[in-house]
Amino acid sequence: MEYAEFGKTGVRVSRIGFGGAPAGLRNYLREYDPDLPENQSHIIAAIDAALEAGINYFDTAAGYGNGKSEELIGYALKGSRDSVFLASKSKICPPDDLRRSLEQSLERLQTDRLDFFQLHGTSYTDQHVQQVLHGGVLEQLIRLKEEGLVRFIGFTSEDSNRAVYDFIQCGQFDIMQICYNVLMQHAYDPNRPFGSILEAEKAGLGIAVMRAFTSGVFQRWMAMVHPENQFDYTEALIQFVLSNPHVDVALIGMRNAEEVRKNAATCNNTSGRVDIIKMFTYYE
């Protein structure tokens, strides 16, 4: 398994991480019931395969099925807790509620601390920025870190608006998790160069990216323009993301062991990488 230094955290993370959203969300991307014992067995087998492949970053959130993802991942990782980096998230809420959210996540995950704890966001507003930076949320995150309940703190975003830059530049976060893939490149433009990924790199944040598979948008587009095309774009989409030298880890949702092994093999095939900077640089 290929590993990378995760910003200035001092830890080395696998270049692909186990994304926990598909484990807990009902009918996410395709028909799926997280309460069916058969599906739960597939998730546990997938986590076992991830451990065997050397994947050491496991990402989940309280919002993935009202804690169902955390429960499954906590159960599956119970005997391997000290050999992995465990991440979860909470939506932005008042400081006391944030602490309760963390405590509930720890209980579901069957652990006494998180390695990475992040604010769970899609697109942050100016009001969110005020609430986090000046309303006690960031202070609570720092306090939880000082108490040893979490090792590192961060935020996630689907967007790259001004709020993301405010969070990067405040100098208190350790991690940024951002949407980035072959279609959604707002976080990184190597041609300018410009983007929140570059700013996070300059600030020393660990950079995790999500939606490597474009949530199926790219595949549906290809099927529309060329219905006879049966090509599997999975490997190409992963290699595009991993070709970005600023990306530490690509979080990939996986529901069975076969998917895990296939994606781990893709990660290990470094010959599939491209020079993304040269490819997207149009002007000398």
Residue pLDDT, tens place only, 38-64? 988 899 999 999 999 999 999 999 999
Residue 272 belongs to a domain: no
> What is the Cα–Cα distance from 190 to 241, expressed in whole angstroms?
13
- What is the pLDDT, as a whole number, of residue 18? 96
Q: Could you tell me if 16 and 250 are in contact, meaning their C-beta atoms sit under 8 angstroms apart?
A: yes
> What is the Cα–Cα distance from 141 to 132, expressed in whole angstroms?
10
Residue predicted with more confidence, 164 or 122: 164
Could you tell me the maximum CA-CA distance found in the chain, to the nearest angstrom? 57
Residue 255 belongs to a domain: yes
> What is the Cα–Cα distance from 57 to 180, expressed in whole angstroms?
18
Tell me what the pLDDT averaged over the chain comes to.
Answer: 92
Residue 276 belongs to a domain: no
pLDDT band at 276 (very low <50, low <70, confident <90, very high): confident
- What is the pLDDT, as a whole number, of residue 284? 53
> What is the Cα–Cα distance from 111 to 85, expressed in whole angstroms?
12
Other CB atoms within a 10 A radius of the CB of residue 215 amount to 17
> What is the Cα–Cα distance from 42 to 255, expressed in whole angstroms?
6
CATH number, position 60: 3.20.20.100
Counting the structural domains of the chain, the total is: 1
Other CB atoms within a 10 A radius of the CB of residue 130 amount to 13
Residue 278 belongs to a domain: no
Please state the φ and ψ torsions of residue 276, each to the nearest 5 degrees: -65, -30
- What is the pLDDT, as a whole number, of residue 216? 84
- What is the pLDDT, as a whole number, of residue 168? 96
Q: Please give the distance of CA 203 from its chain centroid, rounded to a whole number.
A: 19
| Cβ partners under 8 Å of residue 110, min gap 6 | 74, 75, 78, 81
Residue whose structure tokens are 């006690």: 136
Residue 277 belongs to a domain: no
Residue 204: name the closest of 168, 231, 234 by CA. 168
Q: Could you tell me if 47 and 58 are in contact, meaning their C-beta atoms sit under 8 angstroms apart?
A: yes
What type of residue sits at position 204?
A: G
- What is the pLDDT, as a whole number, of residue 27? 80
Residue 284 belongs to a domain: no
Residue 282 belongs to a domain: no
Given CA atoms 217, 92, 17, 168 in this order, what sign does their dihedral have?
positive
Residue 274 belongs to a domain: no
Range of lowest pLDDT (14-18, 139-143, 176-180, 269-273): 269-273
Question: For residue 239, what are the domain limits?
Answer: 3-266
Reported pTM: 0.91
